[in-house]
Structure formats: structure tokens, C-alpha cells
Copies of this chain bind each other. A is one copy, B any other.
Amino acid sequence: MYEKKDNRSADNQPKLTSLTELGEFGLIDRLTKNVKYHHPETLMGIGDDAAVIEAGDKVILFSTDLLVEGIHFDLTYMPFKHLGYKAAVVNISDIAAMNGVPKQMTVSLAVSSRFSAEALDELYAGVVMACEKYKVDLVGGDTSSNVKGLMISVSILGEAKKEEVTYRSGARSGDLLCVTGDLGSAYIGLFILEREKSVFKVDPNMQPELSGFDYQIGRQLRPEARTDVRNLLIGIGVKPTSMIDISDGLASEILHLCKQSGVGCKLFEGKIPIDEYTKELAKEYKIIPSVAALSGGEDYELLFTVKQEDYEKIKDIVGITIIGHMTAASEGKLMITPDGKAIPITAQGWDGMRK
């Protein structure tokens, strides 16, 4: 920690690095650089949506996600039941992103004394509802007091055959880039909720105007995990070459696939699937619709690549859109606008750090 003399400020104290300066991905790289693996059954450790562990004739997928009050959710407009549901779903989505089947989950809570048992009942009811829907066994957890606020930590196990697992690193130049569902609505939902919150702050007698935005608000408050995609692709005989779930925004996820696969990409802006009403709302709010999709995040759709030869199998599947293709790394990571301009894709970094 203190080994570099030149890393000192004028008063000869070690200069400390702020977390904001480093960002989430920089921090993870920094913290995990000394990690070594001892067990040959650890097939994938840090660096994908889940760790992959060999267990007999299959593999166990292992992932974890935190939700922190004031960072990931705002209890002003997030009902406890939705929060519990979402905490479960974001973890289930990580297993879907590995092309696995979710199986067991632990849910840990740190709660300050401002919360009642009834509030936690609701939160757990949401977790249990998601577990019922996605057939996941809630097998444990930990509960603790917290000095301030609410924090939810979920860990999940999934299962797959070894050859079924899709890593972020499997994309090759020429592969088609595909996405499920539509993007950007969760971000517009958040925008609407934040707007109504500020109106409420100015005049607490105002009733929030949320009617008519069910789809957008639902996408934000109660997302679903695309565990159905695995069977859909098995059904048409397509195995993705790489896959990731869209939690941070399309741009950031594409860059992950490119970096870990060692390829470039061409993304066609006009192909990005966005709900029509979300497009209208975005324009009304002076947000470029594709930016909501690229940077918004929290849609929990799946982004994946398939071999070019699978084009015929996949091109007419409802709910899957081909949005571009992978290229040689030297060609860069580009978005092609409808008028043919090539723009380098950049990510906004860590959602949690930004807010």
C-alpha cells in the first residue's frame, strides 16, 4: 500500500485514491488482481455474470448482487414487495445470462430500526413471489441491524450442462449481435418516477401522475428475468457464442462482450428495439430514445451473439432483434447512425458511482 515514494503528496502523506476517481470496473480490477485459484473445478471466477464451477456431469453457476437504499432504489416510490421481487430478479437474470437454470438463492438484509417487521414481510413476499415464478429455492440468508437504511444482498446458484454455458468471451468477428425484448423503458420509467418525486417535494398535496405509464414504470419497478430465452434458443437449435444481461445499459454491455471476446463491433442505431410509446415519451422529455437504451440500463434483457450461419434460424423470431455484428478488434467499437455516421461506443461507467 505504501511502497511507492512518488505516490505522496506535499506533506509526505501517502496520496489516497478516491473510489469515484477509480469507478466500479477500475476498483474491481484493482482489488482482484492478486486473486489465484486453487481448485481445478473453478472453471470461471471473476469476470462474467456468474462464476462457473464443475460439479459432476454439470456445472454450478454462482453469482451475487447488492441493492443499497439511496443508490439502487428509492423507497419514496419503490414498494417493498416490488423491491424484493426486483432483488431476486436481478440475480436470476445473471443466471439467465450464462444460459443456465436458476435453482437456489440466499437473501440477506441489513435494516435500520426505522423499518417494521411488516415492511420486511412485504419485501420477503416479493422475493417469494419471484422464487415461485422462476422456480428458485430460497435456502438461506442473514439478517442484521444497520446503522442507516436498507441493504439487500442476494446470492444465487444456477445449473447448466458444461457445454451450454455462454461466456462473455465467446464472440467472434462476423457473429451477429442480438438483443431480446425492447430497451430504454426502464430508464424512462425511472425518469417519470423521479419527476413526480420532485413535483411532490415542491407541493406535497400534488397527487403523482403515473397513470398511462404502466409499461415504463413496471419495467423499472418490477423487471422480469429472461429465463425463457434459453429454451427458445434450444428450440430453434441456436447456441449463443456469448451472452450478457443488460443491467447497466446496452453500450456498457456491448463493450464488455467486445473486451472479453477481443473483438470490435458495428451496432446499428436504427435497429435498437425501443417501445413506440417509450420513444414518444423520451422525445417529450428531451431524451434521445437510443440514449435511453444505450445508457439507461435496468431492462434486464439479454444481449448475445450467434454465428452468422444461424441468421436464417433467428431472423424471424418475435422478440429477438439483430442489432449489428461483431468485427475485428482493429475496426473499433462503432455505432452506425441512420444517416451512416460511425460513432465510437462509450459507456458512462458505474451507475452506482454516478448517482
Contacts and interface: CB of A to CB of B under 8 A. Distances in A.
A56 B53 contact: no
B128 A64 contact: no
Contacts of A34: 124-125, 128
Interface in A64-108: 64-66, 68-72, 103-104, 106, 108
A55 B146 CA distance: 35
Nearest to A147: B70
A64 B19 contact: no
B66 A135 contact: no
B55 A124 contact: no
A24 B111 CA distance: 11
A153 B64 contact: yes
Nearest to A38: B135
B110 A145 contact: no
B53 A19 contact: no
A139 B137 CA distance: 22
B42 A353 contact: no
A122 interface: yes
Residues of A in contact with B, size category? 35 or more
Contacts of A5: none
A141 B103 contact: no
Contact of A144 (B137, B146, B352): B352
A142 interface: yes
A149 to B, nearest CB: 6
A178 B63 CA distance: 36
30 contacts: A1-B118, A14-B118, A16-B116, A18-B116, A19-B116, A28-B141, A34-B125, A34-B128, A37-B139, A38-B136, A38-B137, A42-B104, A45-B137, A46-B141, A50-B140, A51-B139, A53-B103, A55-B58, A56-B56, A62-B139, A62-B157, A64-B142, A64-B153, A68-B144, A68-B146, A71-B110, A71-B147, A72-B144, A148-B149, A157-B157
Given A51-B106, A64-B142, A66-B153, 9 more contacts: A19-B115, A30-B117, A31-B121, A31-B143, A35-B128, A46-B140, A51-B140, A56-B56, A66-B110
Interface of A: 1, 14, 16-20, 22, 24, 27-28, 30-32, 34-39, 41-42, 44-46, 50-51, 53, 55-58, 60, 62-66, 68-72, 103-104, 106, 108, 110-111, 113, 115-122, 124-125, 128, 131-132, 135-149, 151, 153, 155, 157, 352-353, 355
Q: Which 8 A-B pairs have the closest CB atoms?
A: A56-B56, A51-B139, A16-B116, A153-B153, A155-B155, A17-B117, A55-B55, A45-B139
